[in-house]
Chains A and B, each alone.
Chain A
Amino acid sequence: MRYGGNTTCIEVETDDGQTIIIDAGSGIHPLAQSLLKKMPLSSSIFLTHTHWDHIQGLPFFTPIFIPMNNIRIYGAFDPVLQRDIRDVLSRQMEYCFFPVREAELKADMQYSSLSEGQTIAIGSAKVTNIIMNHTVINFGYRIDCNGKSLFFTGDAEPLYNIYHPGDDYYDEYERLISNKNAMLADFVRGVDILIADSAYTEQEYQAKKGWGHGTYDTCIAMAEKAGAKALYFTHHEPQRSDEELDQIHDCLREKFITSAAACPFFIAYEGLEIAL
């Protein structure tokens, strides 16, 4: 397997050695092994949202069982279930799911619910969020550090008009979408790296509308609009083989080869490291 089968987890190491982790999917387990040399560890985990594939690795993140480690977890308050991020995460560590309860973790655990646009300083880096369109509240995170930047969408589907042309509210809805998109483009503006949810091809998307994920083409359009310098496709459709991903990459290259505005794009794989 070349592209990897673990669910979402991205590590960002800042110039001054701070560890920022975005999402705690099963990929956080292998990451933990590489962090063992940094003990006692002080790390900040930012969760885009609390669907299983973005939090399921947390109970297996070894540093939480080791005293002296300091783990800060950030995410959205769930206004529908009226639960803050700690409530939601504790639930997956209830005894029927996992033998160690949240209250028994040895590391110093801290939880914070973020509001939209709130900036958290981690050493020399700044982490800010924006709400992306998904089936639950989902934060896209931007990290800026000494003039370098990246943006991760989390799970995100491009907005589409729920009305049909000719409906009373069609134009108003178009306007609202275009405002939100402009706001997003400004937020992502000029990032060195854009990591984006591209679960589907355009063709597959037709049957997956409203499922909360984007396509390769919509990610390229987003990168273009925001002036991102490089785009990495992630959240690969679980059924997709390595060969299929290669084929998709080839097709996209052919399709966008003449587009001056398109930035270089790559298929993200497990263990990929990028230095800025």
Chain B
Amino acid sequence: MGEIRKDIPAMVEEMPAFPQSVHRVIQLTSDINSDPRDLVDAIQHDPILMMRILKLVNSSYFGLAQKISSINHAIVYIGVNTVKNLALSAVVIGVMPSTNAAGFDMDGFLRHSLSTAIIARILARKAGVQERDVFDFFLSGLLHDFGKIVFAHFLPHEFKKALAMAREEGIHLYEAEQIVFTADHTQIGSLLGEKWRLPLPLVACLREHHGHDQESSLIMAAVSAANQIGKELKLGYSGENIIEKLPRTISDLFDTAEGAIIDSLGDVSAEMEKAMIFIKN
């Protein structure tokens, strides 16, 4: 593997900051004794997050009898705990970009990211991970391919070339990226994760999700497996056309054939549709 192209770290620097509100909300929601006033404050300082939560609360999924007009109103109506949990999901999904720079199918990408997040979450629950830690699996799944967004955003023509090369030559997208950029999306994604000061296990997931044979933590293995299963189930499209075997940590843990693991996950696409309410609204 050659050196990372000199201009790439600069591009990572230019990527938008992980919104402060995300850190703040994650921090507040992980502390059970946090002051609800601080949560309201954090949400209100991010108008997009605020609108997202209000739209969600007012959506037909909630089916409330009254229209909710402010975050305080939402807390009075559905309780501080529910608002806290919604804020957490809304901030995380809000990090996903919605624009397209390289002819890259953003809807497909979004679905791929979301399906990886959801499957990683199911795997975590099946593996008996505590509910408060399950969220990290979801977040890692959601962000695992984020490096591709940096390519699509800053080097759209070259990224298009890498996508075509992977497709035509039947190689991994990360291999094509290495040829075109002398760097791949896992490296760029982890640089971005560091810039965003994400927790270290999460950064490791961004960096290692294609490195199956290494000693991997449960979260890395789950995200890696979720990535492959999402492709197997054709949920979204990430530009990668090759489906790899599941990491050994996962096949050992479930001690059954790959098909049986996938069957045991339940209806993932139904879960996807439900999760889309955070995005479509």
Instruction: Decide: B76 and A79 in contact? CB cutoff 8 A.
Output: no
Q: Which of A80, A117, A173 contacts B85 (CB 8 A)?
A: A80
Rounded to whole angstroms, the CA-CA distance of A115 and B274 in the bound complex is 16
Q: Which residues of A contact B63 (CB under 8 A)?
A: 77, 114-116, 118
Q: Which residues of B contact A79 (CB under 8 A)?
A: 56, 61-62, 82, 86, 277
Check A136/B37 contact, CB under 8 A, given A115-B63, A162-B75.
Answer: no
- Which segment of B15-23, B64-72, B193-201, B226-234 sits at the interface? B64-72
CA of A118 to CA of B75 in the docked complex: distance in angstroms? 22
User: Within 8 Å CB of B75, what residues of A?
Assistant: 162
From residue B117, how far is it (CB to closest CB) to chain A in Å? 12
- Which chain A residue lies CB-closest to B76? A176
* Dominant secondary structure at the B interface: helix
Contact between A131 and B64, CB atoms less than 8 A apart? yes
Interface string of A116-137 (1 = CB under 8 A from B): 1110000000000011011111
Chain A's interface size range is: 20 to 34
Q: How far is the CA of A118 from the CA of B64 in the complex (A)?
A: 10
- Which of B36, B66, B79, B86 gathers the greatest number of chain A CB atoms within 10 Å? B79
Q: Which residues of B contact A137 (CB under 8 A)?
A: 78-79, 82
| Interfacial chain A residues near B271, Cβ < 8 Å | 82
Determine the main DSSP class of A at the interface with B. loop
Contact of B82 among A77, A136, A159, A180 (CB under 8 A): A136
Tell me whether A148 is interfacial, beta carbon within 8 Å: no
Asked if A52 lies at the interface with its beta carbon under 8 angstroms from chain B, I say no
Counting CB contacts under 8 A, is B245 at the interface? no
- Is B26 located at the chain interface by the 8 A CB criterion? no
User: Closest CB of chain B to A163's CB: distance in Å?
Assistant: 6
Q: Which residues of B in the span 76-129 have a Cβ within 8 Å of any Cβ on A? A: 76-82, 85-86, 89
Binary per-residue interface labels of chain B (252-273) against chain A in the complex, 1 for a CB within 8 Å, 0 otherwise: 0000000000000000000100
A180 touches B61 (CB 8 A): no
A106 within 8 A of partner (CB): no
B8, CB-defined interface residue at 8 Å:
no
Does B206 count as interface, using CB distance less than 8 angstroms?
A: no
B136 → A minimal CB distance (Å) = 16
Instruction: For the complex formed, measure the closest distance between the CB of A184 and the CB atoms of chain B, giving whole angstroms.
Output: 11
Query: Which B residues lie within 8 Å of A212 (CB)?
Result: 79
Q: Which residues of B contact A83 (CB under 8 A)?
A: 274
B78, B85, B86: the one within 8 Å of A131 (CB):
B78
Nearest B residue to A162 by beta-carbon distance? B36
Nearest CB on A from B37, distance (A): 6
A residues whose Cβ falls under 8 Å from a Cβ of B: 77, 79-80, 82-83, 114-118, 130-131, 133-137, 159, 162-163, 167, 169, 172-173, 176-177, 180, 183, 210, 212
Please list 5 pairs of residues, one from A and one from B, whose beta carbons are closer than 8 Å in the complex, sorted by A's number.
Answer: A77-B63, A80-B82, A82-B271, A131-B65, A163-B37
Q: Which residues of B contact A (CB under 8 A)?
A: 35-37, 40, 56, 60-66, 70, 72-73, 75-82, 85-86, 89, 271, 274-275, 277
